[in-house]
Structure 1
Amino acid sequence: MAEFYVHTELGRLAVRAIGDGPPVVLWHSMFVDSHSWDRLIPELAGRSLFLIDGPSAGRSDRMRTPADISACARAAVTVVEEICRRTGVDRVDWVGNAWGGHVGLELAARRTDLLSTLVAISAPTFPIDDAIRRQINTLLPIYRLIGPRGPVRSAVVTALFTDATRAHDPSAVAIAESSLRLSGRAMVPAIVTAILRRTDLEWAARQLTCPVLFVTTDDRGEWTAEQARPVAECMADARVVEISGARLIPALEQPTATGAAIRRFWAEVGVGTWVRLPHGSSQP
């Protein structure tokens, strides 16, 4: 594994490089960092994985003031261009979860030359609704005061994971809690950036020319397969798959099913290399 930093308008972003093969760039969800992909890494063998820590997450620089998804997309352009330079390719495959999915949507719309495919996981194309906005605005002052502890920690873990995961998969919860502790109060500007300032991205979805996979889950009411399919039907080349037994981060809760869905998508559109599914494996 190698790690490097890319200077962007949002500060230095840390990137972990793992594996060999055609490059895949991954940007995680809010409240976690690039280690939220660790369980997915074995499922994507045969690819070079470049795992970004978003601003204020992991080993990346802390944000001093909030930005927006457009600024994150511009930072992503800088990172992707550096990865292309390092690997000698002209485009990459993008996998983004929630925050990373929204960044990928705008990136793909504004720079059609940089992405071969886009996987957007748990990434609604519409802004947050009023109920979630009220909840976030209620928690932010507490977050600023005490950091990701107590009621803040409880609310975040509940938002990220199903009841079953919280009860029976402590290592998944530990990955999220480790990221929360590392980021501390510095996560607040990122929350404003990625959640409160999340805008309608259906315009971006409609402009995409690369193949797209929307990954939804069966335990997130904000973005269901039923909501994603009408958006996909209006796009040039998009499809939807639902992962069972997951809420916001299926790569943590259901890595095998998530990896299978991504590999199958890549196989369908004929890009990169991937590991053939074992005989008898269930298809998403």
Structure 2
Amino acid sequence: MTHATHLTDAERTAVALTSPNGLEVRADVVRTGTGPRVVFLHGLVGLNEHWEEVVARIRDKAECITLELPLLELRGDDCSLWSVVEMTQQFLDRHVDGPSVLVGNSFGGHVALRIAHRRPDLVRALVLAGSSGLIERTMVRGAPVRPSKEWLEEKIGELFYDKSVMNPGDVERAYKLLNERGGARAMVKLSKTARRDNMTDDLADIACPTLLIWGKQDVVTPPSAGQGFTELMPDARIVWLENCGHAPMLESPIPFAEAMRSFLDELETRER
């Protein structure tokens, strides 16, 4: 299955961010829709286009902003969870007007959680799908320095309950990125920095409304992780998606969007 593109009329720009080491990092941004701001953050091998099926279904009631950082091109001290948190905060400060709903998948969910903890003024609410930060089964242990397409196809396939959802183009892109000098090393390093940052003791401090959207068949951040977030965060609830793995915005975009629409309505009602 290829991911449909519904956002032909969206505004697409590149923004320059500054890494903690002072290097310029170019990020791709897509904006569409009107209403309260919702910012989407991808995982380690994610793309802006991975959110398109969800964005197409909620942009009538939200300004949807997808941020794509070149994570696997980060090097040295800039290649860490904390560096990505800092650059994402920078983007929100400079390019997003006021607090927003942060939506994060996997590593992107972890980034969203850290921002909510450090800079609650930037975050109206959270939507987390397969977020790291509590329990995560590494996908990169034993990763070869130059992974083969077969290895990548197997690993990316593990993200899905229904393997037919996997886009062959994503495997090709990951193969290219991870075989460029330092790409595989960057993925391993980013994954390690995320696993070392266990948020158990900090989640009680994140008071914003939080919606968890979790695949029942997620083998990377299993259901126990979603349940853990629900129990440890003061204002969190969870929507379980059956027959769905680690990337529910790709595998179950319709129920994902429906859950988000309900959540946005709830936020509006609560804030009246």
- TM-score by length of structure 2 reads 0.82
Partner of residue 167, structure 2: 173
Q: Distance in 1 between matches of 2:38 and 2:170?
A: 22
Q: Which amino acid aligns with 1:157?
A: I
Q: Aligned residue for 2:84? A: 72
Q: Residues 32 and 180 of structure 1 are in contact (CA less than 8 Å); yes or no, is this contact kept in structure 2?
A: no
Give, in angstroms, the shift of residue 93 of structure 1: 1.0
Cα displacement (A) at 1:53:
1.1
Aligned to 2:74: 63
* Aligned-partner SS, 2:140: helix
Alignment correspondent of 1:6: 16
Q: What is the CA-CA distance between 1:182 and the residue it aligns to? A: 5.4
Letter in 1 for 2:103: V
CA contact (8 A) 1:212 1:239 kept: yes
Deviates more, 1:195-204 or 1:104-113: 195-204
User: Which stretch of the first structure deviates more once superposed, 240-249 or 219-228?
Assistant: 219-228
Structure 2: distance between partners of 1:100 and 1:113? 19
Cα distance in 2 for partners of 1:49, 1:182 equals 29
Deviation sequence 1:125-158 (CA, Å, 0-9, x none): 32545xx3xx62311xx2x32x4x3333223222
Alpha-carbon displacement from aligned partner over 1:260-281 (angstroms, at most 9, x marks no partner): 1111122222279xxxxxxxxx
Q: Does 1:28 align with 2:28?
A: no
Q: Distance in 1 between matches of 2:263 and 2:46?
A: 25
| Percent identity for Structure 1 against Structure 2 | 19
- Please show how residues 1-284 of structure 1 align to structure 2 within 5 Å: 1-9=11-19, 11-46=25-60, 47-56=62-71, 62-65=73-76, 67-84=79-96, 89-126=97-134, 128-129=136-137, 132=138, 136-139=140-143, 142=144, 144-145=145-146, 147=147, 149-162=148-161, 164=162, 166-167=163-164, 169=165, 172-181=166-175, 183-186=177-180, 187-198=183-194, 199-270=197-268
Letter of the 1:150 counterpart: K
| Paired residue type of 2:152 | R
RMSD: 2.4
| Distance (whole Å) between structure 1 residues aligned to residue 151 and residue 133 of structure 2 | 26
User: Aligned pair count?
Assistant: 250
Is the Cα–Cα contact under 8 Å of residues 94 and 117 in structure 1 kept in the other structure?
yes
Render the CA deviation track for 1:74-129: whole Å, top value 9, x for unaligned.
11100111222xxxx32111100001100000010000100101111101432545
Are residues 189 and 43 of structure 1, via their aligned partners in 2, closer, same or farther at CA, if it must alter by over 3 Å? farther
SS at match of 2:188: helix
Structure 1 residues 178-187 or 4-13, which shifts more?
Answer: 178-187
Change in Cα spacing, 1:43 to 1:182, as seen in structure 2 (3 Å) is farther
Shift of 1:214: 1.6
Q: The residue matched to 1:137 in structure 2 has which SS?
A: coil
Question: Which residue of structure 2 aligns with residue 277 of structure 1?
Answer: none
Corresponding letter in the other structure for 2:151: V
Which consecutive residues of structure 1, in runs of 5 or more, have no partner in the other structure? 273-284
- The SS at the match of 2:29 is strand
Q: How has the CA–CA distance of structure 1 residues 235 and 56 changed in structure 2, closer, same or farther, with 3 Å as cutoff? A: closer
The change in CA–CA distance for 1:14 and 1:224 in structure 2 (over 3 A counts) is: same
Deviations 1:239-258 (A, max 9, x none): 11111222111111110011
> Shift of the alpha carbon at 1:33?
1.5
